Amino acid sequence: MSVITVERKILEKNDAIANEIRHSFQEKNIFSINLVSSPGSGKTSLVEQTINLAKDKFNIAVIEGDVQTSLDAERIGVFNIPVVQIITNGSCHLEANLVKDAYKQLEEKEIDLLVIENVGNLVCPAGYDLGEDLKVVIVSTTEGDDKPLKYPAMFRNASALVINKIDLLPYVKCSLETLRKNALSINPNLKIFEISCTKDTGLNEWIEWLQSHLKK
């Protein structure tokens, strides 16, 4: 009978909220990163180490995203910095409205760096803008060197790649050279860090990179 032309983005609502968040962060000069990886790559370990090394240099706040439990927020809580836990109750990614609600609890805090730790998943979080400045993807050596090729959208959208668990390289089937090559073939502009959170390796360069992006 009749056809209505719509031409609207399906995730327009998420994008609109993400832009609102981006605007609030800009006003307050907050530099924000959206930390993404598979489960168990070391997102929370990297956040812990970042706080350890940088909490005397600048103010950090953390939004933790998990499907269940507040275990991660409890881990971050011991550092005595502002942290909010989002529990998605089954959903595989964070959405902008969840971050907006979580940020309400942080609005009064003095923040230079806000880390949003996404749900462990290399697929779904790629499609959802959270209003962050940059996406940082972590891949650990135990996952092998083919992950950038298997999950290209995530690596394409990220600004930095943190390769974690490099101390385990002698024991796992993963070539650092191949991993770097695969990642750069998807995104030639990726800034790459090679670190071990448990052995305190390579973290200074990461902290300096974060510091160079701070807005105040």
Partner 1 sequence: MHELSVAEEIVNISRQYLPKENNVHVKSITIKIGRLSNILPDSLLFCYESLIDNTPLNGSKLIIEEIPIRINCMKCGKNSETDHISFLCPNCNSSEIKIESGTELLISEIELFENNLE
Binding site for partner 1 (CB under 8 A): 1-14, 91-93, 95, 123-124, 126-128, 152-153, 156, 184-188
**Least distance from partner 1 to the Cβ atom of residue 94, Å:** 11
Task: Give, as one character, the DSSP assignment of residue 171.
Answer: G
For residue 186, give the 3-state DSSP assignment: helix
- By beta-carbon proximity to partner 1, the closer residue of 49 and 121 is 121
Minimum distance from residue 7 beta carbon to partner 1 (Å): 6
Q: Which is nearer to partner 1, 34 or 164 (CB)?
A: 34
| CA–CA separation, 170 and 17 (whole Å) | 45
Q: Which is nearer to partner 1, 9 or 173 (CB)?
A: 9
Contact 34, 136 (CB under 8 A): yes
At closest approach, how far in Å is the CB of 11 from partner 1?
6
Rg over CA atoms, the chain: 18
CB of 8 to partner 1, least distance (A): 5
Return the number of the residue (16 or 78) whose C-beta is nearest partner 1: 16
Q: Decide whether 13 or 215 has the Cβ nearer to partner 1.
A: 13
Least separation in angstroms between residue 161's CB and partner 1 is 14
Q: Could you give the C-alpha distances from 103 to 73, 84, 107, 119, in angstroms and in order?
A: 14, 8, 6, 17
Give the closest residue to 148 by CA, choosing from 197, 124, 184: 184
The count of other CB atoms within 10 Å of the CB of residue 203 is 20
